[in-house]
Amino acid sequence: MRGLWRVVAGQPVAHHHLDKKRTMSRPKIVKVSPYLWAIKWSKQSVLSFHPNGDACGACDAESMTIAVDPGKAEDYARATLLHEILHACVRASDPHLDDDQEEAVVAAITGPLLACLRDNPEVIEYLIANG
């Protein structure tokens, strides 16, 4: 048997997403609520929103753009993208939320949510099914 295993309810369950490395292209758009947001994989784009250079990603509601520094490790880039998508989700639901509150919520949920998505592909499949 290949891959990592864990036990759930007394039964071994494969971590299918860890069985093999897949090469995936980085997305260029994401739909958040009814809107399409551009995803720019560019350090320069990140710096245009955060000129002090202390960020790895940015989410700009006015231009509906998410920017991610492409120079980071792929897992870090994925977490950054999810973090910025969560910012877009928050801004779509409450555009007047205080920036510090928004950052605290988004930062707190990014890691656990990404782990949950990776660890539960069958749940994700169920959630995104039609009908």
Residue ranges of domains in the chain = 26-128
> What are the tens digits of pLDDT across the range 70-128?
999 999 999 999 999 999 999 998 888 898 999 999 999 999 999 999 999 999 999 99
- The mean pLDDT of 50-79, rounded to a whole number, is 95
**pTM for this structure?**
0.80
φ, ψ for residue 68, nearest 5 deg: -135, 135
The yes-or-no verdict on residue 7 having pLDDT over 50 is: no
pLDDT recorded at residue 131: 75
- The mean pLDDT of 46-53, rounded to a whole number, is 95
Alpha-helical segments (H) within the chain? 16-19, 43-49, 74-93, 99-119, 121-128
Instruction: Please give the C-alpha separations between residue 120 and each of 8, 26, 30, 112, 123, in angstroms, as whole numbers.
Output: 12, 21, 21, 12, 5
Q: Is 26-128 a CATH 1.10.10 domain?
A: yes
Instruction: Please give the C-alpha separations between residue 118 and each of 79, 87, 125, in angstroms, as whole numbers.
Output: 11, 20, 12
Tokens 């997305």, located at residue: 27
pLDDT recorded at residue 128: 93
Cβ–Cβ under 8 Å, residues 56 and 69: yes
Cβ–Cβ under 8 Å, residues 57 and 83: yes
Work out the percent of the chain whose per-residue pLDDT is above 70.
83
